[in-house]
Chain A
């Protein structure tokens, strides 16, 4: 009893800067669970809520009761819905959606590199025992090239042309789907290597259409990129590509279950959770959070379209392993992207986090960062 009281008593002398008051385990655990609430809500309510919970706890308690945890989780869910419904954050969503579109375009365009390397490798090392060039790796080459053009146009700042090219790329993808549907697969591709058959094309068609739609507001592109900063955009793209690349590798590897595909994302998830707990007083930039949400939505589209093509049996077998890998990789990607978006500003921009703009304070919203 006195233990806890003492610890809290230290708290009393309001901590000076740089001096961290010790926190009792129970309080720390309560705060961890309160981490489930939206950031804006926590800024407003965390201390108060902790106070009420501690008031209600018997002195010998060191862990929250299950019922309390359930109660907090439920209230947090309600608060999230409430914030999402009442927030006047249309600009932030719009910026985030454009950025997600850019990331998708880059990922789709990056595949052209893969096509090029495959074709070059086969061309250079063609001997009597050389693997034949798979139709899949040659046909449809124009689609990633189209996406690479979209990315180049975006980089040049010709956003209108980029938007048009994105739609053209989607049309090209349709052509590729048609090609795959009408041209029979190679006789030796009987192995159920699932994702290297038609489904990825259909999935990529979906992703391409999503990207085209998201990029359909060319005027917002620049503002959207500015809103998160080029560096953070780069980091997000790299994080996303690495994980999609990992998934690719897993499929090309063919045999056996690559456990790391599951392990890596979940380890990162754990890291993310830990850092989330540590960083919970540092509010994430609203646009960054929405990009995270957008990527998550894209991954849902991704998984659903893979599942749909698998269910209809369209072109090739998608094994459970593939689905598990996609899910794991997708989850990992979203988490890594979110983590990166959360942490990158500290490293990359070296400006302190702006405090989250409170929903009820319209003047503060979207104010330009104060120059030092």
Chain B
């Protein structure tokens, strides 16, 4: 099993899908929202990440719809994807906690904003 840290786009996509199945454009918007506008994925990048995660069995196709003559394929997170995302969230959280603790120890104050 790959224990490599998820890249940020993958992490955010999984996060977006964790709340429920989404189609491509909704994922882009959700990723932007989740990252407070910091990460604006482009479709190509998103599908590259999505393909990789599909290969690893982290996401799968949920259903297809035709809306306004456009094909919308919905994706959902798999069980393995949820486990991976949870593990990744734990890792990031412990890193963040360690960083905050370290800053406090050094007397460099709290982390604002």
Binding site for B on A (CB under 8 A): 8-9, 11-12, 45, 47-56, 67-68, 71-76, 78-79, 82, 86
| Interface pair A71/B44, CB less than 8 Å apart | yes
Q: Can you give 5 A-B contacts (C-beta < 8 A)?
A: A8-B70, A12-B68, A52-B43, A78-B48, A86-B55
Instruction: Give chain B interface residues in 17-53, CB to chain A under 8 Å.
Output: 23-25, 28, 42-48, 51
| Interface pair A52/B24, CB less than 8 Å apart | yes
| Interface pair B71/A47, CB less than 8 Å apart | yes
A49 cross-chain contacts in B, Cβ below 8 A: 24, 43-44, 47
**Shortest beta-carbon contacts, A-B, top 8:** A75-B44, A51-B70, A11-B69, A71-B42, A55-B25, A52-B24, A71-B44, A47-B71
In the complex, what distance in Å separates the CA atom of A45 from the CA atom of B28? 16
A74 cross-chain contacts in B, Cβ below 8 A: 44-45, 48
Instruction: Number of B interface residues at 8 Å Cβ cutoff, please give it.
Output: 19
**Main DSSP-derived SS at the B contact region:** helix
| Interface pair A52/B51, CB less than 8 Å apart | no
B68 cross-chain contacts in A, Cβ below 8 A: 8-9, 12
Please name the residue on chain A nearest to B44 by beta carbon. Answer: A75
**Main DSSP-derived SS at the A contact region:** helix
Tell me, rounded to whole Å, the shortest Cβ–Cβ distance linking B15 to chain A. 19
Binding site for A on B (CB under 8 A): 23-25, 28, 42-48, 51, 55, 68-73
B73 cross-chain contacts in A, Cβ below 8 A: 48
Contact of A67 among B25, B42, B48, B51 (CB under 8 A): B42
In the complex, what distance in Å separates the CA atom of A18 from the CA atom of B51? 34
In the complex, what distance in Å separates the CA atom of A50 from the CA atom of B51? 16
B46 cross-chain contacts in A, Cβ below 8 A: 52
The answer to whether A75 and B71 touch (CB under 8 A), given A53-B43, A56-B28, is no
In the complex, what distance in Å separates the CA atom of A45 from the CA atom of B70? 12
Tell me, rounded to whole Å, the shortest Cβ–Cβ distance linking B27 to chain A. 9
B70 cross-chain contacts in A, Cβ below 8 A: 8, 47, 50-51, 54-55
Tell me, rounded to whole Å, the shortest Cβ–Cβ distance linking A84 to chain B. 14
The answer to whether A48 and B71 touch (CB under 8 A), given A56-B28, A67-B42, is yes
| Interface pair B69/A75, CB less than 8 Å apart | no
In the complex, what distance in Å separates the CA atom of A55 from the CA atom of B44? 14
In the complex, what distance in Å separates the CA atom of A50 from the CA atom of B23? 13
Please name the residue on chain A nearest to B71 by beta carbon. Answer: A47
| Interface pair A56/B43, CB less than 8 Å apart | yes
Please name the residue on chain A nearest to B46 by beta carbon. Answer: A52
In the complex, what distance in Å separates the CA atom of A43 from the CA atom of B71? 13
Tell me, rounded to whole Å, the shortest Cβ–Cβ distance linking A219 to chain B. 35
Tell me, rounded to whole Å, the shortest Cβ–Cβ distance linking A35 to chain B. 13
- 15 more CB-based (< 8 A) A-B contacts, given A48-B24, A48-B71, A54-B70: A12-B68, A49-B24, A49-B47, A50-B70, A51-B25, A51-B72, A52-B24, A52-B25, A56-B25, A67-B42, A68-B42, A71-B42, A71-B44, A75-B44, A79-B48
